[in-house]
Amino acid sequence: MVPPEQKGFMPGRNMDGHLFKVMEIQSQNRQGVWVSIDFLKAYDKVGHGILEGLLRYIGLEEHWITMLTEFMKEELGFLVGNQVADTWFKPEGGIRQGDSLSPAVYVMVTVILCILLKKEMPEITALLYADDTLLWIPGDM
C-alpha cells in the first residue's frame, strides 16, 4: 500500500533513491521548481474527519475505520510541568504521538495525499520521507 515515494518508517527503504532522483533532475537542467514541505506539528494537524474520509477513499472496511478513529478520539490525560493534570480531554484532531500505530496512520495520510496529487498532476515528482515532502514541479505545467 505504501508507494515507493515514501521512504520514512519503512523497513529496507532509505533516502538513497531520493538523492539520486534529485541529482538526476538537477543534471538535466530542466526548467521547474523544487517545493520542500515540512509539515509543522504534523501529528497535531490531521483532522479526524479528514482521516475518516481518507480511510474511506482507500476502501478500508468500516469496522477498521471506526476502530482507528475511536482510538484517536479516546480521552487523554496530560502533563502540566512536572505534574499530571487532574482533568481529561477528548482530542478534536490530531494523531497521538508515542505509540506504535500513529506513525503508520500518519504515513497513510501523507501517502493518500501524494496519490491524489499525482492523480491530478502526474508530471510532478513527489519524494516523501516521514513528514517531509519534496516536490519537483516541471516548468511546463
pLDDT band at 136 (very low <50, low <70, confident <90, very high): very high
Query: Cβ(112)–Cβ(63) under 8 Å?
Result: no
SS3 of 115, please?
helix
pLDDT tens figures, 47-78: 778 888 888 888 889 998 888 877 777 755 56
pLDDT digit string, tens, across residues 100-114? 677 777 777 777 788
b/e code 74-85 from CB counts within 10 Å (16+ = b) = eeeeeeeeeeee
Percent of the chain with pLDDT over 90: 18
- Residue count (the chain): 141
Separation of alpha carbons 68 and 83, rounded Å? 29
Higher pLDDT, 110 or 34: 34
Instruction: Output the pTM of the full model.
Output: 0.64
Domain boundaries, the chain: 16-22+31-138
